């Protein structure tokens, strides 16, 4: 059997990257639709409702059953094993169509569905903790020295840039395209380097050869068998 040429390998990799970006974009779109529906119907519980023990409005099960986390499966007694299997079966019955992961509140055994059930509300203590982290984080001006620019090619073939902390070695899979004004999957990303000069001035990369990159990626999709 003939081996793939380097060019064929590159084409396949490009086609795969595009497929994955389109899949991420679709998942992101579904997540947005779901969050929008929860907001419209008031599915999320308020902190007071959660505290008062109001059941999940997604599935009707208690948010927290107070039974404590499951010990590791191998440590379950015979009775606990039966309980565990019964809860598994109940979850399968309630979420036949969902094909989704599940979550549970710490200290509780009942499981909820990522598809049907909004996550539990943030409590005042956690909100305070998050605001403290936010307050103690460096100012926008201070953060500039740690920011890198990235060049992204999106599923719509628009090329855009993104600025983020240097510690990140990849970019999030879906970003808003400033041209299309919708969220798009990222097909290709490339770190360009520091986003700001030592003086805190944005680095101008307007003459960066983005066009060549884009042309290369555009030629691949469609022409390569999946």
Name the residues that contact Zn ion, by CB under 5 A.
Answer: 56, 58-59, 95, 98, 112-113, 115-117, 156, 158, 177, 179-180
Q: How far is the CB of 212 from Zn ion (least distance, A)?
A: 19
Q: How far is the CB of 73 from Zn ion (least distance, A)?
A: 22
**Distance between CA atoms of 190 and 206, rounded to whole angstroms?**
15
Q: How far is the CB of 71 from Zn ion (least distance, A)?
A: 23
**Distance between CA atoms of 84 and 110, rounded to whole angstroms?**
10
Closest CA to 113 of 72, 61, 36: 61
Q: How far is the CB of 152 from Zn ion (least distance, A)?
A: 10
Q: Which is nearer to Zn ion, 4 or 67 (CB)?
A: 67
* Gyration radius from the chain CA atoms: 24
**Distance between CA atoms of 103 and 100, rounded to whole angstroms?**
10
Q: Which is nearer to Zn ion, 112 or 144 (CB)?
A: 112
Q: How far is the CB of 98 from Zn ion (least distance, A)?
A: 3
Burial pattern 122-149, b for ≥16 Cβ within 10 A else e, equals eeeeeeeeeeeeeeeeeeeeeebeebbb
- Containing H/E element for 21? helix 6-41
Angle, helices 6-41 vs 210-219, to 10°: value is 90
Q: Which is nearer to Zn ion, 38 or 70 (CB)?
A: 38
Q: Which is nearer to Zn ion, 103 or 170 (CB)?
A: 103
**Distance between CA atoms of 148 and 178, rounded to whole angstroms?**
19
Q: Which is nearer to Zn ion, 64 or 113 (CB)?
A: 113
Q: How far is the CB of 100 from Zn ion (least distance, A)?
A: 6
Q: Which is nearer to Zn ion, 16 or 176 (CB)?
A: 176
Using DSSP, state whether 31 is helix, strand or coil.
helix
Name the DSSP class of 65.
-
């Amino acid at each position: 059997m003939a081996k793939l040429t380097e060019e064929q390998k590159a084409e396949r990799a490009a086609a795969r990257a595009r497929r994955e970006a389109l899949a991420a974009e679709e998942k992101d779109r579904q997540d947005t639709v779901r969050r929008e529906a929860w907001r419209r119907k008031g599915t999320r519980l308020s902190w007071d409702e959660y505290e008062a023990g109001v059941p999940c409005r997604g599935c009707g099960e208690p948010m927290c059953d107070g039974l404590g986390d499951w010990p590791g499966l191998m440590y379950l007694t015979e009775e606990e094993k039966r309980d565990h299997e019964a809860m598994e079966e109940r979850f399968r019955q309630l979420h036949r169509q969902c094909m989704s992961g599940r979550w549970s509140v710490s200290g509780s055994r009942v499981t909820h569905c990522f598809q049907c059930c909004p996550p539990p509300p943030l409590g005042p203590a956690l909100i305070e903790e998050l605001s403290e982290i936010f307050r103690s984080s460096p100012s926008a001006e201070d953060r500039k020295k740690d920011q890198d620019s990235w060049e992204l090619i999106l599923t719509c073939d628009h090329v855009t840039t993104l600025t983020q902390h240097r510690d990140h070695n990849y970019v999030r899979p879906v970003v808003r395209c400033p041209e299309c004004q919708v969220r798009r999957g990222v097909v290709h990303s490339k770190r360009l380097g520091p986003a700001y000069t030592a003086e805190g001035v944005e680095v101008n990369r307007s003459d960066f050869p983005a066009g060549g990159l884009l042309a290369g990626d555009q030629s691949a999709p469609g022409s390569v068998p999946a």
